[in-house]
A and B are shown apart, each in its own frame.
Chain A
Amino acid sequence: KAGVTQTPRYLIKTRGQQVTLSCSPISGHRSVSWYQQTPGQGLQFLFEYFSETQRNKGNFPGRFSGRQFSNSRSEMNVSTLELGDSALYLCASSLMGAEYNSPLHFGNGTRLTVT
C-alpha cells in the first residue's frame, strides 16, 4: 500500500510570491491534515480536510489556505510569502481523523525556503 506522497520535496521561493504544495493520501483515507514544522516552534497544526470540507483549523493567518479534491488529494497554498514561512510542511492522512484515535500517517514533507 503506497504511503502519503508530498510534492515537491524542496521549493525555493522569494518573498511576496505564492506557493502550492500537494499531498496524496493513502488510498481510502478521507482525512488529510497539514502541519508546519520549524526548529523554533516545532510541529504546529494548520488545518484538516475531511471529504472535501475543512473540518478543523489552527491558528495561522488567512494567507494559509487549502482544499481537498473528490479523490481526497489535498493542496495547501501560501500567498504573499514571508521569510518566516520557511519550514518543513507535512501532511498526514488518516481514516477518520485524530479525534477518533485514528493513526496519522505522515508524508516526508515539502521543505520550503523563502528568500
Chain B
Amino acid sequence: KNQVEQSPQSLIILEGKNCTLQCNYTVSPFSNLRWYKQDTGRGPVSLTIMTFSENTKSNGRYTATLDADTKQSSLHITASQLSDSASYICVVSATGGYNKLIFGAGTRLAVHP
C-alpha cells in the first residue's frame, strides 16, 4: 500500500535554532518527492521537488534530502524564524498521474521567540 509517514507530528523550537523534519514513504514506482509549506488558512507553497536521481535540494534556509534506497527524505530548516511557523507537508508521486499523489499528514512547526 502506498503510504507517506511524517514525523514528528508537531514540533516547537526557539527562534534561531535548526530543525529537521522526516518523511518516510512506501510509494512505488517512485516519480518525485515534494515538500510544501502551508501557513494557517492559506494554500501550500512549494519548497522543493526531487526526482530519483537527486539527493539534495536547497531553497534558501530549507534543504531537502532524499535517500531513494531507504525511501526516506528530510527537510532541514536552518536558523529558524518566526515566519517558519507552519505545517510542512511531504508529497510523493508515483508514476501514473495525479491519482498517484500520496500526501503525508504534515508536521506542524511552531517557532517561539
Which residues of A approach B to under 8 Å, CB–CB? 4, 33, 42-45, 47-48, 55-59, 90, 92, 97-99, 101, 103-109
Contacts and interface: CB of A to CB of B under 8 A. Distances in A.
Contacts of A4: 43
Tell which of B89, B98, B103, B104 has the most Cβ of chain A within 10 Å.
B98
Contact of A104 (B41, B46, B100, B104): B46
A43 B43 CA distance: 11
A103 B31 CA distance: 13
Contact of A42 (B32, B34, B103): B103
A86 to B, nearest CB: 15
Interface of B: 31-32, 34, 36, 41-46, 49, 51, 89, 91, 93, 95-101, 103-106
A53 B38 CA distance: 29
A74 B93 CA distance: 23
Contacts of A106: 36, 43-45
Given A99-B93, A106-B44, A43 B98 contact: no
Contacts of A33: 98
B98 A98 contact: yes
Contacts of A104: 34, 44, 46
A56 B99 contact: yes
Give the 10 A-B CB pairs with smallest separation, nearest first. Answer: A106-B43, A56-B98, A43-B103, A56-B97, A48-B98, A103-B46, A108-B43, A42-B105, A108-B42, A106-B44
A105 B97 contact: no
Contact of B101 (A45, A90, A101, A105): A45
Contacts of B49: 101, 103
A4 to B, nearest CB: 7
Nearest to B98: A56
A108 B98 contact: no
A42 B45 CA distance: 16
8 contacts: A33-B98, A42-B104, A45-B103, A55-B97, A98-B98, A99-B98, A104-B46, A106-B45
Contacts of B100: 99
Given A104-B46, A105-B46, A98 B93 contact: yes
